Amino acid sequence: MTYLVTGATGSVGRHVVAYLLEAGHRVRALTRDPGRARLPEGVEVVQGDLGRTETLRPALKGVEGVHLIDAADSAYAPLRNGPEIVEAIREAGVGKVTLLSGWSPGTLEPAVTGSDLAWTYVQPTEFMANALAWAEPVRERGLIEEPFAATKTAMVHEADIGAVIATALTEDGHEGHSYGLTGPELLDVPAKVRILSEAIGREIAFRELTVDEMRERHRAQGVPEEMIEFQIEVFGNVPEGAYQVTPTVEEVTGRPPRTFARWAAEHAAAFSRGRGA
């Protein structure tokens, strides 16, 4: 069986590819730049752009299932050609579709979930990989500065998202389901900082930013305005209990979700002086 993976070079997609290969499937990976894809040996790498449906059509030929992301560019602008993508998948006679939720509402999610395709919609909460944004300040200054220190979130490990996607693509019983994925525990920012400190064996200081300070910094870094407002909406002033741990990773994969301590140990080098990301 061959599966087409879009976003295969991304933090989640690499795990989807790894799980599919491990299960003995063939993988075709769509990327805008095959020269930079660095995918494992045996993966068929094809050039394409999700925003240009005509480049997707040849990649869909002969595949059993397709994993989709909703990203039109590296800043995660939502795709505008959702209905066209769904039509191309139907025309190619592809059996299964998984869709990873995007940053903001777009055209792909309603087109997929409103279609007669055998779809599974995967909606993770905050990725643990987002903590990589702290790698440089930790290496350079041993300091993490964030707003909303008290907001507790249940970050999810990218490998668990990949495992759920690979399972939903290759096994029966997941069609028509929307899966909200979380990690195993609710952590506020100081708890995340403590866990990272333990993983790198060095004390990391924490200072809470005001919302205005955060806005200014993100603007200076060129973060799109919608993404800044999205972060304020998602992490700011959330009522106690707004974020809950879900049992879905274990229900789908049969394994408990990975902890942030495990993620931190796996990525300690990125936060350690002299080694780089």
Ligand X SMILES: NC(=O)c1ccc[n+]([C@@H]2O[C@H](COP(=O)([O-])OP(=O)(O)OC[C@H]3O[C@@H](n4cnc5c(N)ncnc54)[C@H](OP(=O)(O)O)[C@@H]3O)[C@@H](O)[C@H]2O)c1
Task: Return residues touching ligand X (CB under 6 A).
Answer: 6-7, 9-13, 31-33, 37, 49-51, 69-74, 76, 100-103, 124, 126-127, 129-130
Q: What is each CA distance from 199 to 11, 195, 256, 261, in whole angstroms?
A: 20, 6, 21, 7
Judged by CB, which is closer to ligand X: 49, or 145?
A: 49
CB of 268 to ligand X, least distance (A): 19
Q: Which residue is nearest to ligand X (CB)?
A: 10
CB of 50 to ligand X, least distance (A): 4
Beta strands in 101-232 (DSSP E): 118-124, 143-146, 177-181, 205-208
In this structure, the number of other CB atoms found within 10 A of the CB of residue 221 comes to 9
CB of 180 to ligand X, least distance (A): 11
Judged by CB, which is closer to ligand X: 103, or 206?
A: 103
Judged by CB, which is closer to ligand X: 46, or 202?
A: 46
Contact 53, 85 (CB under 8 A): yes
Cβ-based burial of 8 (10 A; exposed 0-12, middle 13-18, buried ≥19): buried
* Residue 248 Rama label (left phi>0; alpha psi -120 to 50; beta): alpha
To which residue do tokens 């990725």 refer? 127
Structure tokens at 254: 């049969």
CB of 258 to ligand X, least distance (A): 15
Judged by CB, which is closer to ligand X: 33, or 136?
A: 33
Judged by CB, which is closer to ligand X: 116, or 195?
A: 195
Judged by CB, which is closer to ligand X: 3, or 127?
A: 127
In DSSP terms, 35 is beta-bridged to: none
CB of 276 to ligand X, least distance (A): 18
Residue 17 dihedral angles phi and psi, to the nearest 5°: -60, -50
CB of 64 to ligand X, least distance (A): 20
Longest dimension (CA), the chain: 56
